[in-house]
Amino acid sequence: MSETPFFDVDSGRRVRLRRVRWTFVGAILALLLAIFVYWRLPDNRSYTLKFSAGSELGHRHDLAEALAKLASARRIMIEFVPTDGSLETLDLLASGELDLAFVQGGLPQRENVRQVAALAPEALHLLAKSGPPIVKLTDLKGKRVNLSTPGSGTRLLASKVLDFAGLMPGDYIDEQFSYSALQQLPSDELPDAVFVVSSLPSVMAQWLIDERDYRLVELPFGRAMAVRNLAIGDFEIPRFAYGVAPAHPSGDALTVATRLDVLVNAKVDDNVVKRVAEVLFSNNYAREANLPPLEVNAATSQLAYELHPGVVTFLRRDNPLITGELVEYLENARSFLVSAAVALFLLYRWYARRAATGFEKHIDRVTHVELEVLQSARSGRLTTEKLLDEEIRLSKLKAAALEQFASGKLKGDEHLSSFLTHVADVRRLLQGLAAQVEKKA
């Protein structure tokens, strides 16, 4: 009895082609996944931040424009949002309607707000019309005094200074013009005195001095007010800051100041805030904004709010590479990798046993054919027809196993080889027994 081919070449080629095709598809999918992950990495994503920096006529807006220009190189787009004052800005920041803001320091705190830095001192300028001299705060009694718009940081700080000096709202005529509204008024309708909060140089103060002949008035209360409010300090406006001929002020002028706070909504992505901090603390920003380079200690001390985690990450950029935290992390990673390796090994053993178990049932069926034939031969009941039936049965078992292997239901080339060897051995047994039966016949 001749050996029947049990595994045709075309079937094997189809299996190999199928495996190559799926390998190719897997490689393409892995490449696409790698590209997707690369572009989704935080450092490669672009963001748009809603940003408020107060009036466009203020120096604060110039600082914000410098930030926006440099931030764009780090894939952060700035969308400026106008507000009616620092209090409204804080409310919008806390609610998430704003992402980032330049806000005057010393204002009531809000929830869901974090700090990036304290940027620069913002001096309270008191500017008075020429005419009847206003050289001290008590000279403001009965005068028209512009404290800026309701809800503005300027109004809050000016009110604190006036209250500290003992001037109540009824002692002066309280006016509420915005910077732009002041510029629209005829000279004879302007207030007798105007409060302005700004880092130096103040655009509005310069305009009032140059165009409307106002003069700076000293406010030498900064150190005394700081005893009650750490957000307030003293500041010196240097001689010639707003004019050389004639000198204005004529000498260094003391005044009250707060810090310009850079605040962010607490939920803004850490990586975005880290990029903003990179801009603010860079020499490029100092040049672009015409500010002294931002010192880390000065910019992160006596803050109104907790630092945002993104800023903390930025500040740790120069920490030693190998730290206790890193060592602990690596130790945890090592333990994890060892555990993962053991788990993978056990998984592989389970998979190998499962693959072997899949072939075992087919090997058992072939063994059952062998035992039945041997028992029939021992009892003398073995016939040519019986052997032919067992040959057909053996071929069917072989075909079923090969079909399952080709479809992927059975795994393991070494198990397939053992199975086929067993089939070949049983087939040779059947052929030998068939020869003996024919000889006896």
Q: How far apart are the first and last CA of the chain?
A: 16
User: pLDDT-based confidence at 8, cuts 50/70/90?
Assistant: very low
**CA-based diameter of the chain, in Å?**
145
pLDDT tens column, 231-286: 888 899 999 999 998 889 989 999 999 888 899 999 998 889 998 989 988 889 88
Rounded average pLDDT over 22-39: 62
pLDDT at 406: 80
pLDDT at 27: 64
pLDDT at 319: 56
pLDDT tens column, 75-127: 889 898 888 778 888 999 999 999 999 988 888 889 999 999 888 888 999 99
CB 45 within 8 A of CB 15: no
pLDDT tens column, 294-347: 787 777 777 888 899 998 888 887 655 455 566 666 777 777 777 777 777 676
Sign of CA dihedral 340, 345, 349, 352: positive
Main-chain phi, psi angles of 76, to 5 degrees: -120, 115
pLDDT at 239: 92
pLDDT at 5: 41
Instruction: Find how far residue 215's CA is from the centre of its chain.
Output: 48
Question: Taking the model in full, what pTM does it have?
Answer: 0.60
pLDDT higher for 146 or 58? Answer: 146
- Rg (C-alpha) for the chain, rounded Å, is 43
Geometric angle at alpha carbon 115, from 111 and 116, rounded to 5°: 155
Q: Is the peptide bond before 201 cis (omega within 30 degrees of 0)?
A: yes
